[in-house]
């Protein structure tokens, strides 16, 4: 059978492979190479070694963006997961209306980052105006605005994953815990949470990597204002590429560092999930 | 008795949360009907006879951005990209799972690798390459989405194809079908659940994507998609028409809400399946 399929190989393979080469493989390799070059378009590159990487770290923008991203990710991940888990616990009780609640909470996840960012920008500014400030003027407001926005977007999504996990906890187990005299809190801590650890791992990594890669929402809500204080990594890379002539190489070097960070997060997740699977 | 009380407390709490979740939507719908000068005065008040502006904001929002054209191109690019992704990535996934060689497993690993690469890593070089190859058209976008969306889709399709027993395909080959007929007649129908998941994940991504169309097609053409048009109207410097902005935001989420309410079950299942596997 393999032989027969091989004969038709070109039809099966080529369309995706050509598109994949153009959209990913060639740009990726070029990007790696160009991070060691000085250039303004891809055809006039001259090799400059590590100077782009040194420049990336010697300016304060990139370091600031990294610190801001980490701070944002930590705060956002904690809030999203606590709230999502709490709501999942409430919604797995037998109660009327749980389906409607689920529908409403999940909906913001479908709205794209740009539109979502501007919805919140207009509403937060309308509130801040009463205190005579705006998102453009106040970096603190920008930070918490982003945290609230990402909570609004991701709570429903994480909640659905937690609900799926909680529903898989066998009723026999819960019954046994009840007979042994465990109260609600003990059941939660010693039965439910250990049983939904796989869902917790998935949710933690999804929120961490989404927070790290956040771009559209950041661009729409604050665009980094005031003076780049609320610019996250992806936005800082974008700014080096397109808003600063002569810094394309530095932008590409930042992008490589960004890629390494995201890849490390993803690989950590993979190892943790693999280890868990072995234990079970 | 006490369980009833607890349940009604939870029910009330959930209703409050629903109100919190819907406030931003309520806010933009409300203000889209107010005159643009009145929006900042009392942002949460209902429109009064003085501030009510009928559909003026909608007319402004639509004409300033060419919303209907943006809607058309968003739909065009999303539909054709999703069709192309489903058709072609399932085919390559079939090939690399059924034909076992060093080369096919290398290709598979490159696809998996591409899933963890953030867009920023390739955005500059990809948009320059797309420019050189004259891909700055809606059809070019379809090709780019096929290429950049291939990683996750191939990964999901291969995972499912591995679990399909070979015997069915062998029987069809013996009966005289060629591999293409076998694939479309036998394998594709079995793949249906994965097709739905892949379609939904990619449709949501392509419809909402901003950077790729912005960098490749840009704002100076008639091919603006909805996110590009929104950013173009609102994100540019200068005086802003708050009213038109509100109306545009409402128009931008209407298609998503309709689509969501129509196929809610598939969307939630698809997104969860994608999260668990990806």
Domain ranges of chain A: 2-34, 56-279
User: What residues of A are in contact with residue B178 (Cβ under 8 Å)?
Assistant: 4, 8
Look up tokens 């399709």; give the residue.
B157
> Domain check: are B161 and B110 in the same one?
yes
Q: Within a domain: residue B193?
A: yes
Say whether the peptide bond before residue A7 is cis (omega within 30 degrees of 0).
Answer: no
Look up tokens 């309709």; give the residue.
B258
Please tell me the distance from the alpha carbon of residue B50 to that of residue B47, in angstroms, as a whole number: 8
Residue B202 has pLDDT above 90, yes or no: yes
Residue B208 has pLDDT above 80, yes or no: yes
Res B191: pLDDT: 93
Res B43: pLDDT: 74
Q: Within a domain: residue B242?
A: no
Residue B222 near residue A228 (C-beta atoms within 8 A):
no
Read off the pLDDT band of B65 (50, 70, 90): confident
Residue B93 near residue B132 (C-beta atoms within 8 A):
no
Residue B79 has pLDDT above 80, yes or no: yes
> Domain check: are B107 and B190 in the same one?
yes
> Domain check: are B17 and B85 in the same one?
no
Mean pLDDT of A69-92: 94
Res A45: pLDDT: 81
Mean pLDDT of A116-130: 88
Q: Which of B30, B56, B72, B46 is closest to B244 using CA atoms?
A: B56
CA dihedral B169, B172, B176, B178 (to 10 degrees): -40
What is the tally of structural domains in chain B? Answer: 2
Widest pairwise Cα distance in chain A: 74
Q: What percent of chain A has pLDDT over 70?
A: 98
Please tell me the distance from the alpha carbon of residue B1 to that of residue B182, in angstroms, as a whole number: 61
Read off the pLDDT band of A1 (50, 70, 90): confident
Query: What H or E segment, with its residue span, contains residue A38?
Result: strand A37-38
Query: What H or E segment, with its residue span, contains residue B212?
Result: helix B211-216
Indicate the burial class of B269 (C-beta count within 10 angstroms; 0-12, 13-18, 19 or more). middle
> Domain check: are B212 and B175 in the same one?
yes
User: Are B209 and A27 in contact (CB < 8 Å)?
Assistant: no
Any B CB within 8 A of A255 CB: yes
> Domain check: are B121 and B38 in the same one?
no
Indicate the burial class of B67 (C-beta count within 10 angstroms; 0-12, 13-18, 19 or more). buried
Res A274: pLDDT: 73
Q: What is the mean pLDDT of chain B?
A: 88
Read off the pLDDT band of B77 (50, 70, 90): very high
Residue B53 has pLDDT above 60, yes or no: yes
Question: Phi and psi dihedrals of B52, rounded to 5?
Answer: -70, 135
Res A262: pLDDT: 92
CATH number, domain of B117, equals 1.10.3720.10
Please tell me the distance from the alpha carbon of residue B83 to that of residue B242, in angstroms, as a whole number: 37
User: What residues of A are in contact with residue B95 (Cβ under 8 Å)?
Assistant: 5, 9, 12-13
Instruction: Tell me what ipTM this predicted complex has.
Output: 0.89
Say whether the peptide bond before residue A226 is cis (omega within 30 degrees of 0).
Answer: yes
Please tell me the distance from the alpha carbon of residue B227 to that of residue B224, in angstroms, as a whole number: 8
> Domain check: are B164 and B44 in the same one?
no
> Domain check: are B23 and B138 in the same one?
no
User: What residues of B are in contact with residue A154 (Cβ under 8 Å)?
Assistant: none
Q: Within a domain: residue B277?
A: no
B79: domain range? 67-236
Res B146: pLDDT: 96
Read off the pLDDT band of A53 (50, 70, 90): very high
Res B239: pLDDT: 62
Residue B42 has pLDDT above 80, yes or no: no
Read off the pLDDT band of A72 (50, 70, 90): very high
Read off the pLDDT band of A276 (50, 70, 90): low
Residue A194 has pLDDT above 80, yes or no: yes
Residue A278 has pLDDT above 60, yes or no: no
Residue A158 has pLDDT above 80, yes or no: yes
Res B184: pLDDT: 93
Residue B278 has pLDDT above 70, yes or no: no
Residue B267 near residue B197 (C-beta atoms within 8 A):
no
Q: Which of B274, B65, B67, B78 is closest to B159 using CA atoms?
A: B274
Res B148: pLDDT: 92
Please tell me the distance from the alpha carbon of residue B224 to that of residue B88, in angstroms, as a whole number: 26
> Domain check: are B55 and B84 in the same one?
no
Q: Which of B22, B123, B245 sits opposite A122 (nearest CB)?
A: B245
User: Are B272 and A161 in contact (CB < 8 Å)?
Assistant: yes
Residue B259 has pLDDT above 80, yes or no: yes
Architecture of domain A56-279: Orthogonal Bundle (1.10)
Mean pLDDT of B210-227: 89
Question: Phi and psi dihedrals of B38, rounded to 5?
Answer: -95, -10
Mean pLDDT of A15-32: 95
User: Are A11 and B39 in contact (CB < 8 Å)?
Assistant: no
Cα of A231 to nearest chain B Cα, Å: 15
Residue B107 has pLDDT above 80, yes or no: yes
Res A162: pLDDT: 93
> Domain check: are B152 and B210 in the same one?
yes
Residue A84 near residue A162 (C-beta atoms within 8 A):
yes
> Domain check: are B115 and B25 in the same one?
no
Q: Within a domain: residue B268?
A: no
Q: Lowest-confidence range among A95-104, B34-43, B105-114?
A: B34-43
Six token digits for residue A37: 């070059």
> Domain check: are B219 and B149 in the same one?
yes
Cα of A207 to nearest chain B Cα, Å: 11
Q: Which of B27, B124, B272 sits opposite A123 (nearest CB)?
A: B27
pLDDT tens figures, B120-179: 999 999 999 999 999 999 999 999 999 999 999 999 999 999 989 888 888 888 888 899
> Domain check: are B78 and B151 in the same one?
yes
- Beta carbons within 10 angstroms of residue A3's beta carbon: 8
Res B225: pLDDT: 92
Read off the pLDDT band of B50 (50, 70, 90): low
Residue A230 has pLDDT above 80, yes or no: yes
Q: Within a domain: residue B257?
A: no
Read off the pLDDT band of A105 (50, 70, 90): very high
User: Which comes out higher in pLDDT, residue A20 or A96?
Assistant: A20
Residue A279 has pLDDT above 80, yes or no: no
Residue A280 has pLDDT above 60, yes or no: no
Res B39: pLDDT: 67
Mean pLDDT of A228-246: 89
pLDDT tens figures, B234-250: 876 556 778 888 888 99
Please tell me the distance from the alpha carbon of residue A200 to that of residue A194, in angstroms, as a whole number: 9
Q: Which of A26, A28, A164 sits opposite B117 (nearest CB)?
A: A28
Please tell me the distance from the alpha carbon of residue B16 to that of residue B1, in angstroms, as a whole number: 23
Residue B37 has pLDDT above 70, yes or no: no
Read off the pLDDT band of A36 (50, 70, 90): very high
């Amino acid at each position: 059978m393999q032989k027969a399929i091989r004969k038709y190989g070109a039809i099966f393979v080529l369309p995706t492979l050509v598109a994949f080469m153009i959209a990913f493989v060639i740009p990726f390799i070029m990007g790696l190479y160009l991070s060691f070059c000085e250039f303004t378009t891809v055809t006039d590159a001259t090799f400059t070694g590590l100077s782009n990487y040194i420049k990336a770290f010697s300016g304060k923008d990139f370091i600031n963006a990294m610190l801001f991203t980490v701070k944002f990710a930590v705060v956002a991940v904690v809030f999203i997961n606590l709230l999502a888990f709490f709501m999942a616990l409430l919604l797995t009780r037998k109660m009327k209306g749980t389906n409607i609640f689920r529908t409403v909470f999940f909906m913001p996840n479908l709205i794209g980052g740009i539109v979502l960012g501007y919805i919140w920008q207009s509403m937060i500014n309308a509130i801040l105006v009463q205190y005579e400030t705006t998102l453009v003027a106040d970096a603190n407001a920008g930070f918490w605005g982003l945290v609230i926005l990402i909570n609004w977007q991701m709570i429903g999504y994480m909640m659905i994953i937690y609900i799926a996990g909680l529903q898989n906890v066998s009723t026999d187990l819960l019954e046994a815990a009840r007979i042994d005299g465990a109260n609600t809190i003990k059941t939660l801590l010693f039965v439910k949470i250990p049983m939904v650890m796989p869902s917790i791992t998935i949710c933690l990594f999804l929120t961490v990597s989404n927070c790290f890669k956040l771009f559209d929402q950041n661009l729409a809500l604050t665009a980094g204002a005031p003076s780049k204080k609320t610019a996250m990594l992806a936005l800082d890379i974008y700014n080096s590429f397109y808003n600063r002539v002569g810094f394309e190489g530095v932008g590409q070097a930042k992008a490589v560092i960004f890629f390494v960070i995201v890849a490390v997060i993803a690989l950590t997740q993979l190892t943790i999930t693999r280890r868990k699977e072995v234990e079970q | 008795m006490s369980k009833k009380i607890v349940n009604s407390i939870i029910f009330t709490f959930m209703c409050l949360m629903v109100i919190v979740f819907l406030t931003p939507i309520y806010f933009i719908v409300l203000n889209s009907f107010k005159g643009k000068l009145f929006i900042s005065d009392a942002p949460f008040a209902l429109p009064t006879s003085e501030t009510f502006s009928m559909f003026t904001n909608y007319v402004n929002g639509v004409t300033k951005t060419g919303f209907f054209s943006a809607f058309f191109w968003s739909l065009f690019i999303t539909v054709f990209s999703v069709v192309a992704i489903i058709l072609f990535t399932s085919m390559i996934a079939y090939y690399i799972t059924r034909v076992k060689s060093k080369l096919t497993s290398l290709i598979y690993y490159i696809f998996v690798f591409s899933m963890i690469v953030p867009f920023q890593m390739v955005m500059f070089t990809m948009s320059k390459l797309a420019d050189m190859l004259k891909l700055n058209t809606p059809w070019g976008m379809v090709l780019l989405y096929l290429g950049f969306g291939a990683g996750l889709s191939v990964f999901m399709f291969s995972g499912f194809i591995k679990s399909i027993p070979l015997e069915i395909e062998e029987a069809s080959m013996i009966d005289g079908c060629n591999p293409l007929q076998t694939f479309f007649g036998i394998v594709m129908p079995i793949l249906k659940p994965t097709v739905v998941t892949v379609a939904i994940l990619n449709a949501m991504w392509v419809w909402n994507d901003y950077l790729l169309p912005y960098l490749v097609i840009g704002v100076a053409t008639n091919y603006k998609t909805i996110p590009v048009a929104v950013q173009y109207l609102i994100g540019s410097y200068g005086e802003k028409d708050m009213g038109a902005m509100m109306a545009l935001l409402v128009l931008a989420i209407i298609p998503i809400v309709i689509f969501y309410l129509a196929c809610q079950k598939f969307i939630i299942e698809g997104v969860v399946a994608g999260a668990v596997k990806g």
